[in-house]
Amino acid sequence: MTATGEVRALGATIGGVLNLQGARLCNEGKFALSLDRADVKGGARLDPVTVTGELRAVHATIGSELNLQGARLCNEGKDALTLDRADIKGDAFLQAVTVRGTVRALGATIGGSLAWRARGSPTQASLRCKRRGSASFG
């Protein structure tokens, strides 16, 4: 999938897995993918996805894993990934992620493990979140 402009699913209920594997989403300096208050019953597969603009899932519920392995997130000088108050029921995989911009997960809950190994460094990372499983950074 390739999209120019904002892709919105605000408050949507997705009955299974959200599969955006290989997607290219571009809305430079603005919201590229908005999943605020969405309820994804299965997992969210965004491995690998290329996003120019902000990928946000504020107060969203993901019923299984969040997979962003190999993702490229670019919103230079702004938020690139925002998961504030998100409830991820399973693991969060952010291995081999390239981030240009800020990563936020304030008040988020991760039910399983958090695995984050970024290529390069985000401009800023705010990860005050609750997790029930292990965490690995490296």
**3 or 134: whose pLDDT is higher?**
3
pLDDT at residue 44 in the model: 98
Domain boundaries in the chain? Answer: 2-131
Q: What is the amino acid identity at position 84?
A: D
pLDDT at residue 137 in the model: 56
The Cα 55–Cα 7 span in angstroms is 10
> Tens digit of pLDDT for each residue in 89-115?
999 998 899 999 988 989 899 998 888
Answer whether 73's CB lies under 8 Å from 115's CB.
Answer: no
pTM of the model: 0.89
| Cα distances (Å, whole numbers) of residue 123 to 35, 64, 99, 113 | 23, 28, 8, 23
135-137 and 114-119 beta bridge pairing: parallel
User: Which residue is listed with tokens 């997979």?
Assistant: 67
> Tens digit of pLDDT for each residue in 30-89?
999 999 999 999 999 999 999 999 999 999 999 999 999 999 999 999 999 999 999 999
Is pLDDT above 70 for 2? yes
> Tens digit of pLDDT for each residue in 113-135?
888 877 766 655 656 666 666 55
Q: In the chain, helix, strand, coil percent, each to 5?
A: 0, 55, 45
